[in-house]
Amino acid sequence: MNDQLKRIFGIDLGTTYSSIAYVDEYGKAVVLPNAENQRVTPSVVFFDGDSIVVGEIAKECSKLYPNEVVSFIKRSMGESDFIYEYKKRAYRPEELSSYVLRKLAQDAETSLGEKVTDVVITCPAYFGINEREATRVAGEIAGFNVRQIINEPTAAAIAYGAAEPSEKKVVLVYDLGGGTFDITMIEIRIDSIEVICTGGDHNLGGKDWDDRIVAYLVQEFQKTLDTDEDILEDPDTWQDLQLSAERSKKILSQRDITPISITHGGERIKVVLERKKFEEITQDLLERTVVFTQEMLQEAKAKGYSDFDEIILVGGATRMPQIPHRLKEEFGSEPKMFDPDEAVAKGAAIYGWKLSLNDGLAIRIADKSIKGMDHDSIIDLTPDLIVKQMPQEVADAVGYTIGAIKKSRVSIKDVTSKSFGVVVRNPEDRELVYNLIVKNTPVPVDVTKAFFTAVVNQETVFIRIMENESKEETVFLSESMEIGTAILKLPNGLPAEQPIEISFKLNEEGRLQIAAVETKESSSVNVAVETKSVIHGKELDEAISRNQSIIIY
């Protein structure tokens, strides 16, 4: 690579599979194979004594050592009560995910001969503050400089826009991965990607289709052997059925029928699963995605977008034929399958490439070292503008092709998938959440709103920062989740009804900062919302040093 530009890698940290990509000198996003020569790596961690095994081998080991193998970690990202215990040590989801990230980076380093230091990691658009922060921390534990967390559908749209450029197109990105479903409306132009609206379900993915097959197999076992034993209580059988279910699901994407054998307690039976039956037992899951899509379309309509040009399918689970079939039936147009396993990592890599070029240009502008450019005239230009106005000069300066430079021009505008507010009391003295930022608002966004103290001589204002999914300005407390708190100390002797201004600032990657000001004597408090459910402080330092000393296979 050109040694003056720092490479920024794109990582798709998936529920079931993960992958890593970079942009080559010609501007092409390339997924790097792992040590097993596969382009996607199962996001599965096997604790094998003092070492850790990640990927296909870990997945295979889940049969033999079900208690030492952890899968579907992403579904627990940002949850404080998820703990995996091994040899009396507790591991949180961010630390477990850091092993997956390390494995990806390690193998990429071997294949490319270059160290992975800076990364862009993707997460579902649906992720809230806690889950996003946990994803970032996972990267930090793995030793990366996490440059940005971007949304998976946005990354897929970046890859799509780069692969099939068009003047203007409104697309629906239907993203069904292993554990999450995101539906996003995006306007793609030659040099911009603008997210209009997003929706989805954090807990709906290919894994749920697997679980339905597992439940069906249990039933068939019970019926055939005339027993009511819950065979899933046996961890070996549970793991075995999970693996067979996923395998059968994939076969049914190609064929109409698949044989499955179930072995448990010395008995072995054979079940034949037809695609028709599989579609029948999973119909309601598919319908849930249609309902989420319709809901999102209603919100888009309210924003003036009543139509779209194409449906793009990403995520491995969209390979199930019932998905395009049902979407065509509902929306009339034939959905397009777009690089379902790699689009997200590639889009993240293209985004990383843009950041890396901007960094490189910023340094060169500062030290006036871009050959062939009049530095007095470019000193006031941003790297973006320089790339736009002088692509050939930039290409010559950094040693990439002009095609690669043009690919970096994409500008991204995203929206927040959650609403954020504070707890207030209404005139009936009932606690409610007042949303300052409502979901599907473009980010970055900065909102200030005045609230009032309740009593004479109030000493403090206790601010409870809440996250929810409502589109309304006020929401019941029970429909919101507390993500942080702050205390504003007030000066003595204030009357009641004193205005307090609260500001919420949400950046492009979903990080929230709040400020509160008492306007009379200007006492103030600033809080970067520190999510309680994510490792921090000493626990984080320990996880980082543990990570460095562990060997990952």
Should residue 253 be labelled a site residue for ligand AMP when binding is judged by CB under 6 A? yes
Should residue 324 be labelled a site residue for ligand AMP when binding is judged by CB under 6 A? no
**Which CB sits closer to ligand AMP, 161 or 178?**
178
Residue nearest to ligand AMP (CB): 206
Neighbouring CB atoms inside 10 A of 545's CB total 11
How far does Cα 267 stand from its chain's mean position? 42
- Which of 163, 458, 157, 457 shows the shortest CA–CA distance to 314? 157
Should residue 152 be labelled a site residue for ligand AMP when binding is judged by CB under 6 A? no
**Which CB sits closer to ligand AMP, 40 or 494?**
40
Calpha distance 195→441 (Å, rounded): 10
Among 315, 421, 484, 510, binds ligand AMP (CB under 6 A): 315
Calpha distance 347→349 (Å, rounded): 5
Paired with 192 in beta bridges are 189, 411
How far does Cα 283 stand from its chain's mean position? 26
**Which CB sits closer to ligand AMP, 155 or 296?**
155
User: Given the rule CB under 6 A, which of 11-19, 77-85, 277-285, 493-501 is the region that contacts ligand AMP?
Assistant: 11-19
Should residue 263 be labelled a site residue for ligand AMP when binding is judged by CB under 6 A? no
Should residue 103 be labelled a site residue for ligand AMP when binding is judged by CB under 6 A? no
Should residue 319 be labelled a site residue for ligand AMP when binding is judged by CB under 6 A? yes
Should residue 246 be labelled a site residue for ligand AMP when binding is judged by CB under 6 A? yes
The site string for ligand AMP over 169-188 (x = CB under 6 A, - otherwise) reads --------xx----------
Should residue 320 be labelled a site residue for ligand AMP when binding is judged by CB under 6 A? yes
520-543 burial by CB neighbour count: b if 16+ within 10 A, else e?
eeebebebebebebbbeeeebeeb
**Which CB sits closer to ligand AMP, 131 or 187?**
131
Count Cα neighbours of 421 within 13 Å in the Cβ-side half-sphere: 26
Q: CB of 62: closest distance to ligand AMP in angstroms?
A: 14
**Which CB sits closer to ligand AMP, 160 or 451?**
160
Listed in sequence order, the residues at least 6 apart from 178 whose beta carbon sits closer than 8 Å to its beta carbon are 14, 15, 16, 17, 43, 72, 74, 205, 206, 207, 315, 316, 317
Calpha distance 68→47 (Å, rounded): 5
Tell me, what DSSP letter sits at residue 487?
A: E
User: Given the rule CB under 6 A, which of 193-201, 222-230, 309-317, 395-403 is the region that contacts ligand AMP?
Assistant: 309-317
> E-strand spans in 231-309?
257-264, 267-274
**Which CB sits closer to ligand AMP, 205 or 510?**
205
Should residue 14 be labelled a site residue for ligand AMP when binding is judged by CB under 6 A? yes
The site string for ligand AMP over 197-216 (x = CB under 6 A, - otherwise) reads --------xxx---------
Binding residues for ligand AMP (CB under 6 A): 14-17, 177-178, 205-207, 246, 249-250, 253, 315-317, 319-320, 341
